[in-house]
Amino acid sequence: MSPAPDMNRALLRRVQEGDPVALGHLYDRYASTVYGVGFRLTRSEDDAEDITHTVFIGLPLALRSYAARGSFEGWLRRVAVTTGLKVLRSRRRECGLTDAILASVRSRARGDRQIIAGLTIDEALARLPDGLRVAFVLKEVEGYSHREIAEMLDITPGASMTRVCRARTRLQKWLGDGA
């Protein structure tokens, strides 16, 4: 494995070998990044903690397939995003089909009947349905293209654009004059 320019080769090898001290160094540097990605996607501190836990537990194995092109942080962010999406999908499956439909109907109802304005950005992002929030965060915050978002979410690029547009429309309404 050839190292990314920004990450010490020896440190990554030690993490791969299961050295907890080396993993600790990586954690110190990147935990807030990974946690931040997870929190933005899920708006849940519990889920963000799960995502961070999963990523760092899985890092020693995942580093074997790390191609070391570009920055390590960029790669790690992508790992956090895909892990976060997996957590979101499993959360929806746990609800069960009926529960998922009910949750979807409720969230649509909330959105459609929303006449409240002047929310904070945190509140507004939390109110967005998962599907819209994820697309919006991946586009606006993480900087992915619609094509990449479509691949990650298994939708079309057009659907990605629609979701981001709808997220913006709702956020604009909820944020009110504070937008």
Nearer to another protein, 130 or 171 (CB): 171
Closer residue to another protein, CB minimum distance, 10 or 101: 10
CA–CA separation, 165 and 170 (whole Å): 9
Give the nearer residue to another protein in terms of CB position, either 2 or 98: 2
- Of 19, 20, 64, 54, which Cα lies nearest the Cα of 34? 54
Q: How far is the CB of 141 from another protein (least distance, A)?
A: 5
* CB 138 to another protein: min, Å: 9
What is the closest distance, in whole angstroms, from the C-beta atom of residue 23 to another protein in the complex? 8
Q: Residue 162 and residue 179: Cα distance in Å, rounded?
A: 20
CA separation (Å) from 161 to 22, 148, 156? 41, 11, 9
- In this structure, which amino acid lies at residue 85? L
Residue 41's nearest CA partner among 120, 155, 130, 167 is: 130
Nearer to another protein, 44 or 107 (CB): 44
